Structure 1
Amino acid sequence: MELRHLRYFIAVAEEQHFTRAAERLHMAQPPLSQAIRQLESELGVELLHRSTRSVRLTAAGEAYLDRARDVLHELGDAAEHARRVAAGTVGHLVIGCVGSATYSLLPQLSHGLARELPGVDFAFRGEMLVPDQIAALRGGDIDIALLRPPVADLGLVVEPIRQDRLVVALPESHALASAARVRVKQLVDCDMIIHSADRRSMMYDVALRLLRGAGIEPHIRHEVGETSTLVTLVAGGLGVAIVPEPVSALRLEGVVYRPLVNPTETVPLAVAHRADRDEPHLARAVGVIHELT
């Protein structure tokens, strides 16, 4: 049995006439009649009652017509789905974001991805540290990461997106909160709240390098893993924090953000995925992320 036999049978059943069915199929009548006979022989049942004027379905033919239509419909759907997969317009992706990207980029990103790739189901995980993102990428728990390099894993593709400036988060009651800009040297007597060294946050090294470059040996009051916790502690007056500028999108009562005067460095943001992942919908999502950032 071939698919053409199903198409032939459906045409004859709908036209109830071999000549009209042959014209519809753009073929001669004898081969059509022969093909239907072959189909009946293979099935071992009579599908059609034939007369000199018309054709009508047997009970078996009625049942077979419904299933034949279903088969061709499913094949059409399968072909369309395959084309959409090849075009990268369907699929499922989980995106993991570092803390600063969670607040500044995730709202815009989720909206933009849904608009550009409506057939792709996206899920998001926020407040992830880079080591956790790398482990999640390797384990397949997330498909794409928005992270802060450096990344030493050669099994990942890491593509730079942008460079973010650094700002200082201050309690609104702090003496420096009224300044338009803050010099790093002005933080000399401040209690510092920083991202945790134990959880291998790259911002730990960035903050210490910046402070020590200004001749300050920092007094670290709290180390935290999550950016939201860090900003909450600042808002509570427990210290100040050096953070990437996008963190300022996280607005809490009691905290203000001030730019640093001539900071010595910026922090990169990159999009990463496993090097062995080449699905079209993943590639398209990475492209949209580049466009949106």
Structure 2
Amino acid sequence: MINFRLIRHLWLFLAVAEEQHFGRAAKRLGMSQPPLTEQIQILEQALKVKLFERSRRGAQLTAVGHAILPAVRKFAEQLESLELAVREAAAGQTGTLTIGAITSAMLDVLPGLITRIRQEHPGLTVAVKEIDSYEAIPALQSGDIDLAFARLEGRLDEDIQSLPLQEDPLAVALPAGHPLSDGEALPLAALAQQDFIMFARKVSPLSYDTLITACRNSGFSPRVLHEVRSVASQIAFVGMGQGVALVPASVRGMAPANVVIRPLADQLHVVTTAMAWNSRRENQLTREVIATITRQPPAGDS
């Protein structure tokens, strides 16, 4: 049996936790402060814990309050998703597809795919959230997203299936003014004495291992100074003079003035966007959308 009173109490707790003030939380909730304070006290009594430290400055979470806040936030998000699904069902919508995508995929790959999805599934609501590549697999495993569009390669997880959609030749990102920043294509062997900023291995083990092997085949083992979670972070670290990075050539347009992108003479390519899904969680709707995406678009379709 659903405990609606507890759900309401948790919703009130979340408002106070986010506002850090009973008065502001009450105003946000459209209620007066005394009933809100009373409801939080009832929740504390029911849980047999103290959730807030009250002072003239406001309401600060206790250690217990901090501990339960992430779970309450997650619960609130799930309730909002449920409410959206109910409204869509009542309006005749066929369902919601939640996509997690890295920024580059949102710019290059997704617009055309979403257009095709909406053409073939007009009753479907498509929700897109921005993620980093390292977040893709956990989000698919937990069911937070149905499809991921991220920089993923190789065997990812027992239940995670993937399909490469876009690949790019590698280039070298160097700080502006670096001795190697002038000229045309740069041999990989020329980077032997440099500090590297690498895409973290846990994000894409195959890509990471391929780059390490390529360096060794060029006569050196790369000195990895930093492992980061995104290409944007690689560029940022290079701009701070922390080393050099092997990045997709397509990032040239987003590089700031303090970073130079030079072509790599060695013919190395990486998957910049792959579509991934959880085969254990997939349903008929997800399968239909995957089929839509994997079908070759008609001539002239972008």
Structure 2 length as normaliser, TM-score? 0.57
Is residue 2:276 matched to residue 1:272? Answer: yes
Contact 1:166 1:260 (8 Å CA) reproduced: yes
Letter in 2 for 1:126: I
Contact 1:127 1:227 (8 Å CA) reproduced: no
Contact 1:165 1:266 (8 Å CA) reproduced: yes
**Distance across 1 between alignment mates of 2:99 and 2:147:** 5
Letter in 1 for 2:264: L
Letter in 2 for 1:257: I
Letter in 2 for 1:238: Q
Instruction: Kindly name which structure, 1 or 2, has the bigger radius of gyration based on alpha carbons.
Output: 1
Contact 2:98 2:129 (8 Å CA) reproduced: yes
Match of 2:112 in 1: 112
Contact 1:96 1:128 (8 Å CA) reproduced: no
Q: Specify which of 227, 231, 241 is matched with residue 227 of structure 1.
A: 231
Is residue 2:292 matched to residue 1:287? Answer: yes
**Distance across 2 between alignment mates of 1:272 and 1:240:** 29
**Distance across 2 between alignment mates of 1:141 and 1:237:** 37
Letter in 1 for 2:143: G
Are residues 162 and 107 of structure 1, via their aligned partners in 2, closer, same or farther at CA, if it must alter by over 3 Å?
closer
> What residue ranges of structure 1 are gaps of 5+ in the alignment?
1-76, 86-90
**Distance across 1 between alignment mates of 2:252 and 2:287:** 29
Is residue 2:173 matched to residue 1:172? Answer: no
Where 2:133 maps in the other structure, the secondary structure is: coil
Match of 1:139 in 2: 142
> What residue ranges of structure 2 are gaps of 5+ in the alignment?
1-87
Residues 155-170 of structure 1: matches in 2 within 5 Å? 155-170=159-174
**Distance across 2 between alignment mates of 1:158 and 1:184:** 29
Q: Specify which of 194, 200, 223 is matched with residue 198 of structure 2.
A: 194
Letter in 2 for 1:151: R
Q: Specify which of 246, 253, 267 is matched with residue 263 of structure 1.
A: 267
Contact 1:164 1:269 (8 Å CA) reproduced: no
Aligned-residue CA RMSD (Å): 3.1
Where 1:238 maps in the other structure, the secondary structure is: coil
Contact 2:167 2:269 (8 Å CA) reproduced: no
| 1:79 shift after superposition | 9.7
**Distance across 1 between alignment mates of 2:272 and 2:236:** 24
| 1:201 shift after superposition | 4.1
Contact 2:101 2:128 (8 Å CA) reproduced: no
Letter in 2 for 1:258: R
Letter in 2 for 1:145: A
Are residues 218 and 153 of structure 1, via their aligned partners in 2, closer, same or farther at CA, if it must alter by over 3 Å?
closer
Letter in 2 for 1:273: W
**Distance across 2 between alignment mates of 1:211 and 1:163:** 20
| 1:225 shift after superposition | 2.3
Number of aligned positions between the proteins: 203
Structure 1 length as normaliser, TM-score? 0.59
